[in-house]
C-alpha cells in the first residue's frame, strides 16, 4: 500500500481551454504569460531574469504548457522526467469549487447562479436578511468588486456604522467582509453560516467570510481567517471514496471548506508558508494508503486577482524552491501530483479568474507523458494508485 498527495496550485493555469472564448478568455495563459514577462524583464520587482522553476519544470511543467496551448515558455525548457500532461475541464465554471470537485471526480451538473454586474448586485430581500443576521440597520458596497479594494473603500465606513461589506464577482459567490476585532470574527462567521443555506438553495456556490484588520489611519489588510461556506458536492468525491475505503484524508489549506467538510479527517490552515510546512510534515508522517489533498491559494488571492505579475512569479519560484524538502519525504511507491483548478492570468484584463487548461505533473511513476486529459482523470489516477474504486469517475493516467 502506498500514499498519494494531490497538490493544487490555485489558479496556475496553462492556457489552451477550447471553450475559453465563451468566457471572454481566449488567449489567456497564466503560466506562459508570466514566463514571457519574466524573460522580457517585465517582472523584475523583487526578482529578476527568466522564470526559475527547476523542480516542476524538470517533472514536465514547461512541456505541459506547450502541450496545452502551444505557447512559448522561456525559462521552462527541461526534458520531462515525471508524469506530465494537461487537463481540460468540462464543467461550466472557472471557480474554485468547480475545479476541485471535477479534479476529485465530480463535474458540476448544474449552472451556477451568479449575481449581475450592476450596482446594486444583490436583491433587497437578501440584503435585509443579511442585516438581520448581523444585527445591523444595513449593509455596505453591494456590487462586483475586488476584495482588497472594498476594504480600502468601505473599511472606515464599516468601522463607523458596524455594517458588513457585501460584494461578489463573476464567480458564483457572496463575500462578506468585516473587521475581525470591531465586528468580531465569530459574528462574521455566524452571519455567513446563517445565509449559506439560502444561497446554496439558489445554486450559489459559496458564501465567503473575509475578515480584515487595521484602521483608516494605518490601512486595512485581510487576515488568514477566511472561511468558505460551500455548497456540498452533488455526489461522492475522491475524498469520500478514500475515506469509505477506511483510509485517512488529510486536508491542507481550504480543501475542507471546498468539499463542505465531507470526506476529511484532519485539517491544516494558514498562510502558504505555513501550508508548505504542513505538506512537508504530511510527507513525513502520513499513513500508508492515505490521501493528502492540498490547496495553495496565494497565487490566486494575492497576485492573480491583483494582476501582479512579478508577485505571481515570486510566489511560483518560492513554491518550487520548497519542493525538494517535500519530495525528500516521499517513500518508494508514493505518488504526488501537482495541478491547478483554473487560471488567473495576471497579464489579463479585469481581476477575475480565466478559463484555461491546467498542468498535470507528477512524481513517483517515472517518465510518463499522459497528453491532454480530463480533470476527472486526476482523481481517477489517485484512486487507482490507492486501490480505491472510483466508479467510472475518470480514467487513470498510470503507466
**Residue 70, CB half-sphere, CA atoms under 13 Å: how many?**
4
| Helices first, then strands: H and E counts in the chain | 13, 14
Q: What does each C-alpha distance from 93 to 56, 79, 167, 256, 307 come to in angstroms?
A: 27, 33, 19, 20, 20
Whether the Cβ atoms of residue 265 and residue 259 lie closer than 8 Å to each other = no
> The C-alpha cell of 395 is what?
480514467
Chain-centre distance for alpha carbon 195: 23
DSSP element (H, E) containing 377: helix 375-386
Q: Give the span between the Cα atoms of 60 and 239, in whole angstroms.
A: 26
Query: 3-state class of 348 per DSSP?
Result: coil
Whether the Cβ atoms of residue 21 and residue 355 lie closer than 8 Å to each other = no
**Residue 395, CB half-sphere, CA atoms under 13 Å: how many?**
7
Whether the Cβ atoms of residue 283 and residue 18 lie closer than 8 Å to each other = no
257 is in an annotated binding site: no
341 is in an annotated binding site: yes
Q: What is the spatial order of strands in the sheet that 368-374 belongs to?
A: 266-268, 249-252, 291-296, 4-9, 335-339, 358-363, 83-88, 368-374
DSSP assignment of 86-124: EEE--SS--SHHHHHHHHTT----SPPP---SSSS-S-H
Q: Give the span between the Cα atoms of 42 and 123, in whole angstroms.
A: 43
**Cis link prior to 120 (omega < 30° from 0)?**
yes
Q: Give the span between the Cα atoms of 290 and 3, in whole angstroms.
A: 5
Query: 3-state class of 72 per DSSP?
Result: coil
300 is in an annotated binding site: yes
Whether the Cβ atoms of residue 277 and residue 252 lie closer than 8 Å to each other = no
As annotated, the binding site includes 10, 300, 305, 341-342, 353
As annotated, the binding site for Mn(2+) includes 10, 300, 305, 341-342, 353
Amino acid at each position: 500500500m502506498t500514499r498519494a498527495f494531490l497538490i493544487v496550485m490555485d489558479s496556475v493555469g496553462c492556457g489552451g481551454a477550447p471553450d475559453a472564448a465563451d468566457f471572454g478568455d481566449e488567449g489567456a495563459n497564466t503560466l506562459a504569460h508570466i514566463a514571457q514577462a519574466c524573460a522580457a524583464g517585465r517582472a523584475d520587482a523583487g526578482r529578476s531574469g527568466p522564470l526559475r522553476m527547476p523542480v516542476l519544470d524538470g517533472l514536465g511543467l514547461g512541456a505541459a504548457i506547450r502541450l496545452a496551448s502551444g505557447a512559448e515558455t522561456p525559462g521552462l525548457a527541461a526534458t520531462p522526467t515525471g508524469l506530465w500532461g494537461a487537463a481540460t475541464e468540462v464543467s461550466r465554471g472557472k471557480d474554485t469549487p468547480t475545479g476541485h470537485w471535477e479534479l476529485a471526480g465530480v463535474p458540476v451538473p448544474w449552472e451556477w447562479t451568479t449575481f449581475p454586474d450592476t450596482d446594486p448586485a444583490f436583491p433587497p430581500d437578501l440584503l435585509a436578511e443579511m442585516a438581520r443576521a448581523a444585527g445591523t440597520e444595513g449593509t455596505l458596497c453591494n456590487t462586483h468588486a475586488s476584495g482588497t479594494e472594498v476594504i480600502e473603500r468601505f473599511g472606515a465606513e464599516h468601522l463607523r456604522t458596524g455594517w458588513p461589506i457585501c460584494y461578489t464577482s463573476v464567480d458564483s459567490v457572496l463575500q462578506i467582509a468585516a473587521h475581525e476585532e470591531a465586528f468580531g470574527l465569530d459574528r462574521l462567521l455566524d452571519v455567513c453560516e446563517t445565509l449559506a443555506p439560502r444561497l446554496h438553495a439558489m445554486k450559489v456556490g459559496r458564501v465567503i467570510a473575509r475578515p480584515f484588520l487595521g484602521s483608516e489611519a494605518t490601512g486595512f489588510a485581510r487576515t488568514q481567517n477566511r472561511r468558505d461556506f460551500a455548497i456540498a458536492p452533488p455526489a461522492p468525491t475522491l475524498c469520500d471514496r478514500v475515506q469509505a475505503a477506511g483510509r485517512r484524508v488529510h486536508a491542507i489549506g481550504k480543501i475542507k471548506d471546498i468539499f463542505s467538510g465531507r470526506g476529511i479527517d484532519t485539517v491544516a490552515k494558514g498562510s502558504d508558508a505555513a501550508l508548505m510546512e504542513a505538506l512537508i510534515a504530511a510527507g513525513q508522517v502520513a499513513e500508508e494508503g492515505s490521501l493528502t489533498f492540498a490547496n495553495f491559494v496565494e497565487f490566486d488571492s494575492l497576485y492573480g486577482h491583483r494582476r501582479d505579475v512579478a508577485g505571481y512569479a515570486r510566489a511560483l519560484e518560492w513554491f518550487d524552491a520548497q519542493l525538494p524538502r517535500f519530495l525528500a519525504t516521499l517513500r518508494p511507491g508514493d505518488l504526488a501530483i501537482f495541478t491547478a483548478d483554473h487560471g488567473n492570468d495576471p497579464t489579463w484584463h479585469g481581476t477575475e479568474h480565466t478559463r484555461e487548461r491546467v498542468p498535470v505533473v507528477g512524481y513517483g511513476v517515472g517518465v510518463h507523458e499522459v497528453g491532454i486529459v480530463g480533470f476527472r482523470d486526476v482523481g481517477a489516477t489517485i484512486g487507482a494508485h490507492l486501490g480505491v474504486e472510483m466508479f467510472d469517475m475518470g480514467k487513470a493516467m498510470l503507466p
